Structure 1
């Protein structure tokens, strides 16, 4: 079996041989070596420009288009995540956030945010603290939700496309780790305070990673899918009560 490197060498040699044979045929027919040399040098002189046009410009344009299509597909998967489990998790986490009121205030005006404001808010949210306070009893519904959606998390982690989105991959790993932690604790009853603190740390990690990714996803929807953005804003997990009804 011919290796990839050997195949390239053979292909290059065949092209060179073809070119030589065509030049030879041209000479045999017209007997004009001067004409052959003129056009050969002319083509060689234009070769750097061809490299510039094809490699640096056309290739970059095609690569940008391919990356844009890939990002659209990535955001579709991210949308499924937040629709199925991400938004419910954010709502649950925010309800147990020590700075719950501050988060509500921060996101209260998001209906009016434009793209520059989204970019600004993504930076500002990194400075807001995320700290979870939770009890054994409150871990039970969280455990049930995560175990119920575990198969979805596994399928997403197996998706090679998601490797292109490092921050979202980190979110999946953090949420999946939290799922494993809670699943191995059974019914999550009568846990010592030290263990609850440990789980709270896992929740805080996932929570703090999810918020920037969620904001980035909403910024994408704002530009490309305004109707999806409208629903995402109306189901904003950082509100006292969820209300999807349009009243204005």
Structure 2
């Protein structure tokens, strides 16, 4: 209904309610009792509003958010089955990491614990990136060649619901800017290399965190697709 129709319906309902109260008074001649119940109903209205707008509204909002997240799951999956798989592979090739990180890559969907617990372990895991000319050049080529694809994914308004994924995209965008600013491997100073090591490490952690959630979703929903995506990252 539009606003004008809603206003008319509200006025009609109020008029019907008033007419019923007047009819009750006319029939039973109990003005005091009628006034008592009117006040009692009014006293209960704040409780009703609190339950309806806060509790029920929160449940509805959570459900709508879950639906929005599900609608963008395949969009985030396309990142990993496309440039994400290649970029993760290149950065991992320049990384000293503990066994847990390699386990995340091999079997992200089967790791014990909640997604939040695994993300915390990834954040705390030993992981040190030491870029080299081959890895840097390849990573630069992957990101540069996929700038349009990254922009398309980031432009989807629903993607903001995936906070961790959005943070990862910002990290990739930062690398894109750094590549544009600092140029090829031959143009890098020692300070530039140190800075890139830190940037690559942060992006890799965020990619691994997102890979876990994405892997679980794919394995549950599209198991054959998940198997293909996993093999691409492991190669």
- TM-score normalised per structure 1: 0.72
Conserved in 2, the CA contact under 8 Å of 1:125 and 1:212? yes
Which residue number in structure 2 is paired with residue 19 of structure 1? 14
Conserved in 2, the CA contact under 8 Å of 1:118 and 1:219? no
Render the CA deviation track for 1:178-207: whole Å, top value 9, x for unaligned: 112112334432533332222222211211
Give the Cα–Cα distance (whole angstroms) in 1 for the partners of residues 206 and 192 of structure 2. Answer: 22
Higher relative contact order (CA 8 A, sep 6+): 2
Task: Note closer, same or farther for the CA distance 1:45–1:94 as it changes in structure 2 (3 Å cut).
Answer: same
Give the Cα–Cα distance (whole angstroms) in 2 for the partners of residues 12 and 112 of structure 1. Answer: 52
Q: Which has the higher helix share?
A: 2
Which residue number in structure 2 is paired with residue 149 of structure 1? 146
Conserved in 2, the CA contact under 8 Å of 1:115 and 1:219? no
- TM-score normalised per structure 2: 0.75
The number of aligned residues is 229
Conserved in 2, the CA contact under 8 Å of 1:94 and 1:100? no
**Structure 2, gaps ≥5 residues long:** none
Q: Of 165, 172, 181, which aligns to 2:162?
A: 165
Give the Cα–Cα distance (whole angstroms) in 2 for the partners of residues 170 and 189 of structure 1. Answer: 29
> Deviation of residue 149 (structure 1)?
0.6
Render the CA deviation track for 1:48-77: whole Å, top value 9, x for unaligned: 664466335543432232011011123222
Give the Cα–Cα distance (whole angstroms) in 1 for the partners of residues 168 and 150 of structure 2. Answer: 10
Deviates more, 1:69-78 or 1:113-122: 113-122
Deviates more, 1:120-129 or 1:51-60: 51-60
**Structure 1, gaps ≥5 residues long:** 1-6, 243-248
Which residue number in structure 2 is paired with residue 80 of structure 1? 78
